[in-house]
Amino acid sequence: MPHPLSHNAYGKHRVRVSKIKRSANDPQHHEFIEATVAVTLEGDLAESYTLGDNTNVVATDTCRNTVYAKAKDDPFDTIESFGVTLAEHFLSQYDHLTKATVELREHRWHRLDGHGHCFTGSDGETPTATVVAERGQATTVSAGLDDLMIAKTTQTGFENFHRDEYRTLPDTDDRIFATVLTASWDYASADTDFAAARAAIRDAMLAKFTDHYSKSVQETLYLMANAGLDTCADATSITLTMPNKHHLRFNLEPLGRTNDNEVFHVTDEPYGYITGTVTRQ
């Protein structure tokens, strides 16, 4: 007897799409947005696995085509709003689907010196969004960012941590705190000004990163997440991941020099891994 299929999902991932939005007043003034989209569908699809019956399978090629068609139809103001359009379309178009998850990663273009239609490419930071439309439930939206490099070169330390026979790291009250920030936050509603909310949360978290002496990555993570929630009433929780990218003071004494916290050895691996979620009460 065959074993039962306990879960299934399918779709089209890594669909890359861009759109030019031309100003009605000046056709040479463009907005330029680019994203990578992943569509994952669930529903009455088990027989495509267990019987080879493809009747209910919306081809992954159709999923890809839908991304481009909706990019034309939708204002595409933000990746969040475009994700809502896509996810809700799949449920309204196909009665046998019960859930559509759309994940998006924006590849940022920055206007070049105020020019109407020339841009420079991404600086590494990647805006992200995940939209889930499930039949009979409200559409949910989360947003965030990946790969935002931030650092403090003073006003940061790490002291009075646990001591035992395995500890070799000394206390310090002056070090480099460098990390590559990953952040995500959940919205209370899919009816949100996503652009304004994203800007407010990002700005508040970065302002908090700068405004205090950091006793640890953990403390700063908590303060930053709280600042994001305080500035945006539409956000219900914020999760931050802040790997500790180590800059280790290099021993210059064998080279006849002193090192007053000026020269460091930068390491990629291993690195400290710190994450936490703060939820609105």
Residues 44, 65: Cα–Cα separation, whole Å: 22
Is residue 175 annotated as involved in ligand binding?
yes
The domain segmentation of the chain, as residue ranges, is 10-135, 147-279
- Is 10-135's fold the same as 147-279's? yes
For domain 147-279, give its CATH number from 3.40.630.30, 3.90.1170.20, 3.10.270.10, 3.40.50.2000.
Answer: 3.10.270.10
State pTM to two decimals: 0.94
* Three-state DSSP class for residue 155: coil
Please indicate if the annotation marks 158 as binding a ligand. yes
CA distance 178 to 3: 49
* pLDDT for 194 beyond 90: yes
- The tens digit of pLDDT for each residue in 94-125 reads 999 999 999 999 999 999 998 999 999 977 89
Pick the catalytic residue from 13, 98, 246, 277.
Answer: 246
Whether 83 shows a pLDDT value over 90: the answer reads yes
For CA atoms 115, 118, 122, 123, the dihedral sign is negative
244 is in an annotated binding site: yes
CA 19 to chain CA centroid, Å, is: 21
- Residue for token digits 């950091």? 214
The backbone torsions φ and ψ at residue 200, rounded to the nearest 5 degrees and listed phi first, read -65, -45
Q: How many Cβ atoms sit within 10 Å of the Cβ of residue 240?
A: 24
Beta bridge partners of 148: 181
- Residue-by-residue DSSP string for 215-249: S-HHHHHHHHHHHHHHH-TTEEEEEEE--B--EEE
Q: Is 153 helix (H, G, I), strand (E, B) or coil?
A: coil
Angle between helices 79-93 and 60-73 (to 10 degrees): 120
* 12 noted as active-site residue: yes
- Which residue among 12, 30, 208, 247 is the active-site one? 12
The tens digit of pLDDT for each residue in 171-187 reads: 999 999 999 999 999 99
Asked if residue 73 belongs to a known ligand binding site, the reply is no
| Of the candidates 138, 222, 225, 134, the residue with the CA atom closest to the CA atom of residue 184 | 225
pLDDT tens for residues 1-48? 899 999 999 999 999 999 999 999 999 999 999 999 999 999 999 999
**How many residues make up the chain in this entry?**
281
10-135 belongs to which homologous superfamily? Urate Oxidase; (3.10.270.10)
| 101 carries a ligand binding annotation | no
Q: What is the DSSP letter of 254?
A: G
Q: Which of 36, 60, 85, 277 is catalytic?
A: 60
The pLDDT tens digits for 223-264 are 999 999 999 999 999 999 999 999 999 999 999 999 999 999
